[in-house]
A and B are shown apart, each in its own frame.
Chain A
């Protein structure tokens, strides 16, 4: 009864201090993204606070009657991973493994809501007081840094640390730097023509931060929520700090890093005293200490989690153990659909795939359940660009599997060029997916040949116009941002067709759809633009430049000790380490 009462009081207090976000979290709703421009002094809606109090009272009643299990605070957890994160440096890490470690350590001005599913793609304030105020022309973002924040070493957090973080991105030539190239002065700074980025104004005295963009960017709010721009102390060297991660602002700090073997997250000593109250949308984590150890064998990881020698494995169980795990441990294993697109691209710029009927025939011929098996069931079938959980997603199935229709379309199209090269990379399931497409094309009457390319070079080879026989092949993208334009812009807009490093693998260049993508890319995301993205998804698939087949699934497999239901899988940042609690 005691802890429940405290919980109720905390929820009620949180609702009154940060009413809009807590209410939305409690109700499982996204915060409205259509309030543009947002003003920092927005008044709290009292109805939402009342709803939270109401829900909290309901919770009180339920727990009083039934005595529901509550997660324990504290404890040491051990996680296993197949590889060490690419970097443990917020400005450098581009991989999910790194972001999982950074989600609760390096807090940007904005952050992604600590929630599973669609809610997890909502942007909420991080170190900033509120969401940014965006100017009418969509080019200026104004934010206010919370005053009184401290890094884990006790250094005060200043507004200029944000600018330093963005500059450090360019100093390090980080993979994340291109995302911020639209800030005024970023190009000059990168070229060494300016000593700082002129488009970022930071006032350390007031905490005011103003960011000016060269052109409106509908994804910019999401970009501000990535760890790339998380402030770090101003004396952080402009070199990779993975072995000695910089002090953090979040509830955890990386207390030890021994690449490529292990790293340790421990509670940030400054969190409770300084930051916790100022960053209400980042929950205080449960465990005192999390040690992530590299265990190369996924089978060994699985065995350790099975026997409670490890509490969680970052990677999925290996294919030959997956069935056993899914069947035996229904109470501590589940799959999570990621924001990703797996598809077969067809080169729309040359025969035979310049013919719409041929492309549609391939879509009809590809059997999604076959590819689900190829990817060891960790592929959620789809025939559209947007993934479930992405803003604007509306499920539709434009080409239900029908081989007879596919054959009829091919007979009608009578393609003259029957020799097709199918491209894929050399990773096990990807190679098998390529072999499957080759087999499907052969059945349709083509003479398909499979080309496999080393995974590290795959996208540079197929993105190079000089590579001969770029007919069709496997493409995939794990979204960095939950924004729909993260798929449409780089993968389907004609502007993304380049001589080298082309990301529009289908060479799809539809003038009307390009204009629509450009228009939407500059709009802030609201219910109207979300609807437009849904319509764009359908319009693109009518042209069938791809044969999409799935969204990759991640897995959550925990030991018996963990409160499994409390584990949060955020669609962008993936597993929220702060949500892992002893049961």
Chain B
């Protein structure tokens, strides 16, 4: 479509409200009835055209499969577990028996020498095996914390926006308080209080031990709630004024039904996008907390704790830090790019809005 240089700015098709919807489907020939397409199908078609997002989505799946294969690798190839020490053992490298950890405490590095493919750590544990098991922990924490964030953010976001008034005031100010803290500082403070101090977490009849993996999950899930609840609140504020909500009220639908049967389904695309991006943020925060000793407690390994363990040997055994660090980068990158692609596919207007804002900023 040729652009008219004299056209007024409001006619610019790239501006919000005037956009021609990108359905990802070629226009139907004249006279042929247009087949109805669901929004999910349209989103799928748009996503399929975004090759970069698909590549990184596939990369994330490969990483997940790599981590899920940990027991297979441990039993069939490495013949060792993630916590098994080999401090005084030797392996054969080029016909020479070599210490897994030499007498000065420096472990062997990566190489094609049998079971220690990515080398060993300071306790003589197989880095490849620990990387795979640690990845399971990191991804599990990322995903579960994203569930915690999503559930809490959706509940509080809808309640605040639907009821407004004092309910909104209380919830929004509570969110502001959490938001006022830097995420990492709040995470460390909670991690120290619940995990490092040894008290654990008691929620009524539920007691979570201080070394449980659920402590970092709940901490990370909690600190990100405002970051998701606020946009959801904004969206619900707009949705509750829509005709379909008025129609439901006219039909006598109850408050809960309106919130969770009428409004919630309209939030799904937003939730999916936030959920995906949230996993990446959670994994980064988990790594930082574990590095600082306030996240995953030993003997559980995670990529963050592996970076922390290897930090002491940065000069003599850099692989201990670089390899898990690379895995964190790859996983977070893949989730971020794929999440952006999902957002473009599910809510193309959001992309247009962002681009318009960027354009305005550059002017």
A interface list, Cβ under 8 A from B: 299, 318-323, 326, 367, 369-377, 426, 428, 431-432, 434-436, 438-440, 442, 449-454, 457, 461
Contact = CB atoms under 8 A, between A and B. Distances in A.
Contacts of A372: 103, 105
Contacts of A453: 198
A423 B175 CA distance: 39
B317 interface: yes
Given A438-B299, A450-B298, A320 B198 contact: no
Nearest to A461: B198
Given A320-B313, A454-B197, A457-B198, A436 B299 contact: no
Nearest to B121: A432
Interface string B268-293: 00000000000000000000000001
Interface stretch (B35-43, B53-61, B80-88, B324-332): B80-88
Contacts of A435: 83, 85, 123, 298-299
A376 B104 contact: yes
Contact of A426 (B123, B293, B316): B293
A342 to B, nearest CB: 15
Given A369-B103, A426-B298, A439-B84, 12 more contacts: A321-B315, A322-B104, A370-B88, A373-B87, A374-B105, A376-B104, A377-B105, A431-B298, A435-B85, A435-B298, A436-B85, A439-B123
B316 A370 contact: no
Contact of A369 (B88, B197, B298): B88
B85 A439 contact: yes
A449 B298 CA distance: 10
A374 B198 contact: no
B127 to A, nearest CB: 14
Contacts of A319: 105, 312-313, 316
12 contacts: A319-B313, A320-B314, A322-B104, A326-B104, A370-B87, A377-B104, A426-B298, A436-B123, A449-B299, A452-B297, A454-B196, A457-B198
Contacts of B314: 320
The CB with the most chain B CB atoms within 10 A, among A432, A440, A454, is that of: A432
A170 B106 CA distance: 47
Contacts of A434: 298
Contacts of B198: 453-454, 457, 461
B307 interface: no
The CB with the most chain A CB atoms within 10 A, among B211, B299, B317, is that of: B299
Contacts of B313: 319-320
A374 B122 contact: yes
A377 B103 contact: yes
A450 B299 contact: yes
User: 6 closest A-B pairs (Cβ-Cβ)?
Assistant: A370-B87, A439-B85, A320-B316, A320-B315, A450-B299, A376-B105
Nearest to B318: A320
Contacts of B316: 319-320, 323
Contacts of B84: 439, 442
Contacts of B122: 373-374, 432
A318 to B, nearest CB: 7
A453 B196 CA distance: 7
Given A322-B104, A323-B106, A457-B197, A374 B87 contact: yes
Interface string B92-106: 000000000111111
B123 A432 contact: yes
B312 A320 contact: yes
B160 to A, nearest CB: 38
Nearest to A322: B104
B54 to A, nearest CB: 41
Interface size range on B against A = 20 to 34
Given A320-B314, A374-B123, A453-B198, A439 B83 contact: yes
A436 B106 contact: no
Contacts of A326: 104
Interface in B300-341: 309, 312-317
A367 B197 contact: no
A367 B197 CA distance: 32
B312 A428 contact: yes
A369 B105 CA distance: 10
B104 A323 contact: yes
A434 B297 CA distance: 13
B88 A320 contact: no
A372 B313 CA distance: 16
B67 to A, nearest CB: 21
Contacts of B298: 426, 431, 434-435, 450, 452
Contacts of A376: 104-105
B237 to A, nearest CB: 45
Given A432-B123, A461-B198, A320 B211 contact: no
A439 B197 CA distance: 25
Contacts of A438: 83, 299
Nearest to A453: B198
Contacts of A452: 211, 297-298
A457 B196 CA distance: 9
Nearest to A367: B88
Nearest to A318: B312
B212 to A, nearest CB: 12
A461 B316 CA distance: 35
A32 to B, nearest CB: 41
Contacts of A442: 83-84
Interface in B193-241: 196-198, 211
Contacts of B104: 322-323, 326, 373, 376-377
A436 B197 CA distance: 24
A548 B302 CA distance: 31
Nearest to A451: B211
